[in-house]
Structure 1
């Protein structure tokens, strides 16, 4: 009984301190919808999502343009390299979302995986995604 309490306490302390390592398999085969940038909910008319697939390929909708490429995950940091996207004209609001998404993915971000919520903390922006479904 004491052993179980010690183990549970250790896991809780590690989780609260951010010590749990996120692995590629934790993120692969999921579809995430962007819900907030820097803590501010995005306009529901703007659709932005992220999918992480086999071999850590990534794709999604940044704001109004589709993006695709590959990514790496090292020490709880995700970075897309190279990242390509379509080049359609966007509204100013879509462009703002798109710029935050592409900049954060391209320059790298710390990953906080909370199960139903994924947070990417970059140097300029924090992107918050909600789990949509399994791929």
Structure 2
């Protein structure tokens, strides 16, 4: 009995400390606007957003091209690979935003959801989104 209690307590503490606090329902049906990459505000003339829908479908504007696909959320990491996108020519500034967004979503990122602010922390970039509205 004591062993079962110790094992249960250890598992509970392990789960609580591993950051498994984001669930799909926390992210679905939201529209997010990108406001910063790696802590630097993006140019007001460049629009980038992210919508997460039912069944964890995602779509948005990466910088100048639209993207769409489906994502998974496992152990507090979101990943969307492969993503489809349009192929319009972009200004260099918009292309830099687009590359950061598509790379981060495609390779996976740790999710830090603060309610009104969402950060996706990838291997190369941290994307910061503000909640725009519910879908």
Shorter-chain TM range is: 0.7 to 0.9
For these two proteins, the number of residue pairs brought into alignment is 120
Q: Say which one has the larger Rg.
A: 2
Question: Where does residue 77 of structure 2 map in the other structure?
Answer: 77
1:91 aligns with 2:91: yes
Runs of 4+ in 1 over 3 A off after TM superposition: 17-20
Cα deviation, 1:70-111, whole Å, max 9, x if unaligned, reads 000000000002200000000000000000000000000000
TM-score, normalization: structure 1?
Answer: 0.86
Q: Look up the match of 1:121.
A: 121
Matched ranges for 1:95-114 at <5 A: 95-114=95-114
RMSD value over aligned CA atoms?
A: 1.2
Matched, 1:61 2:67: no
Secondary structure at the residue paired with 1:81?
coil
In structure 1, the partner of 2:11 is: none
More strand by share: 1
Per the alignment, residue 35 of structure 2 pairs with 35
Aligned-partner SS, 1:73? strand
Structure 1 residues 13-32: aligned runs within 5 Å = 19=19, 21-32=21-32
